[in-house]
Amino acid sequence: MMTRRRMAMACCSALALALGATACGGGPVSAGGGSKELSGQTLDVAGVWSGAEQKNFQKVLDAFTEKTGAKTRFTSTGDNVSTVVGSKIEGGNAPDVVMVPQVGVLQQFARKGWLKPLPTRTVNAVHTNFAPVWSMYGSVDGKLYGLYFKAAHKSTVWYSPEAFEQAGVEVPKTYEEMLANGRAVSDSGLPAFAVAGEDGWTLTDWFENIYLSQAGPEKYDRLARHEIEWTDPTVVKALTTLGKLFSDGRLIAGGPKGALGTDFPGSVEKVFGPDPEAGMVYEGDFVAGIAKDQFGRKIGQDAAFFPFPAVGGGKAPVVSGGDAAVVLKDGKHQKAAEAFLAFLATPEAAAVWAEAGGFLSPNKKLDLASYGDDTVRETAKSLIDAGDAVRFDMSDQAPASFGGTKGVGEWKLLQDFLRDPSDPAATAAALEAAAAKAYKG
């Protein structure tokens, strides 16, 4: 997951910088007086964040200090959370709390016996403030270990309103209408989509949105757990649907060859850079940060999004990612750690980062007015309104050798499919062979 994680961090950092200046209220959210019952303790927190993300998370830590009196110390682990945390545990220097970026890592930590289940008060707060699906992704063997504090919305299609106006099209309601609109955009002189085929993780996101809408959440969950094979007819059908996009010369800027030479930031530049080469780019809410921060686009005016549309009569998909807070058994400040997770479960804590920018919360009790940008507010509302229809990024649930490594597994096989989408069944068979090996390992 290293390449993908660094990319997501860079994009979210850009969004934080881009939106931070527009935060409503003009200052940080106060955590209130509090009882200061944890004065004298220092809470050690580890996570992947750096740069703007770390700076904004520090505001959350500072709010916790103001409320409880506990000092905090944050350590950035970089991408390899498991190795860094494992080394700290072995060295007798375990952090108290870790912000875990993938479901698979959370499950790994729990099954190694590193984690404490969340205390009852926090479990109750999670059940009250979050849709049940977030408890599902935070649980292992029926016990809730992880509290999802920060989320990403990966079912957004970003477009140039100018390109749509020139083509005479409006925001589509279905996947089929989106492709038809894309052909109209192409006929008006601009290729429809910039596809970041050089980064295989973007292709997994394309597949996941199509599959979730077309096959439904139950099949999605079973495929994510490899309880059905990748040769299942639903997989072949989704690949066939994706192949219609990949094989249409009017829809992809530069064709498959051009797409395979375009990385994710480059795909955003092709739509929102100074010399547009496409009218749309599919990816998560973090596209806004690059469009605004690097290319000066006004989000909601000359850079806008619509939800990834429903495919083949299914429901519109909502694919997400996120960071979950967990408590380590070997941490030295258990009381402070449990108090911190209880704080993170509140809308008060989420509001601190929401006002700073570059953040989406799955906490349904957070006042949407806390977000300082209308487009981010709309994205957050879409995530909350989806409720239990939200599904976590499938490739992030898979073993890294299948779902998260450059040049192998799903990333490479979908790049091969982009290059030649003529045989979806053969691609499904190759995916199953790679998945079977990875899950067995």
Note the pLDDT tens digit of each residue in 3-29: 444 444 444 444 333 333 333 333 333
Do both 161 and 65 map to the same domain? no
Instruction: Report the range of poorest mean pLDDT among 3-7, 16-20, 80-84, 137-141.
Output: 16-20
pLDDT tens digits along 370-421:
998 899 999 999 999 999 999 999 998 988 889 988 899 999 999 999 999 9
The per-residue pLDDT for 35 is: 63
Do both 174 and 146 map to the same domain? no
In this prediction, residues 220-224 reach a mean pLDDT of 97
CA distance 361 to 370: 11
Do both 178 and 115 map to the same domain? no
Do both 305 and 229 map to the same domain? yes
Do both 341 and 423 map to the same domain? no
Which two tokens mark 104?
């698979």
The per-residue pLDDT for 27 is: 39
In this prediction, residues 274-290 reach a mean pLDDT of 94
Do both 28 and 124 map to the same domain? yes
CA of residue 25 relative to chain centroid, distance: 27
CA distance 74 to 46: 6
The per-residue pLDDT for 382 is: 94
The per-residue pLDDT for 24 is: 36
Instruction: Report the range of poorest mean pLDDT among 4-8, 130-134, 173-177, 424-428.
Output: 4-8
The per-residue pLDDT for 173 is: 96
CATH of the domain at 188: 3.40.190.10
Do both 276 and 328 map to the same domain? no
CA distance 23 to 44: 28
* 313: Cβ contacts below 8 Å, ≥ 6 apart: none
In this prediction, residues 228-252 reach a mean pLDDT of 96
Which two tokens mark 218?
């139950």
The per-residue pLDDT for 34 is: 57
Mean pLDDT score of the chain: 91
The per-residue pLDDT for 165 is: 97
- The model's confidence at residue 70, banded by pLDDT at 50, 70 and 90, is very high
- Residue 357's nearest CA partner among 5, 1, 29 is 29
Contact between 303 and 8 (Cβ < 8 Å): no
pLDDT for residue 214 is more than 50: yes
Do both 163 and 149 map to the same domain? no
Contact between 22 and 357 (Cβ < 8 Å): yes
Give how many domains the chain has, as a whole number. 2
Do both 276 and 339 map to the same domain? no
In this prediction, residues 239-261 reach a mean pLDDT of 96
Do both 104 and 131 map to the same domain? yes
Instruction: Report the range of poorest mean pLDDT among 135-139, 250-254, 401-405.
Output: 401-405
β-bridge pairing 97-100 and 42-47: parallel
Contact between 277 and 191 (Cβ < 8 Å): yes
In this prediction, residues 364-369 reach a mean pLDDT of 97
- Residue 266's nearest CA partner among 195, 183, 349, 354 is 195
Do both 266 and 351 map to the same domain? no
Other Cβ atoms within 10 Å of 158 Cβ, number = 27
Do both 337 and 407 map to the same domain? no
Instruction: Report the range of poorest mean pLDDT among 73-82, 141-150, 368-377, 381-390.
Output: 73-82
The domain containing residue 268 runs over which residues?
Answer: 156-317+398-440
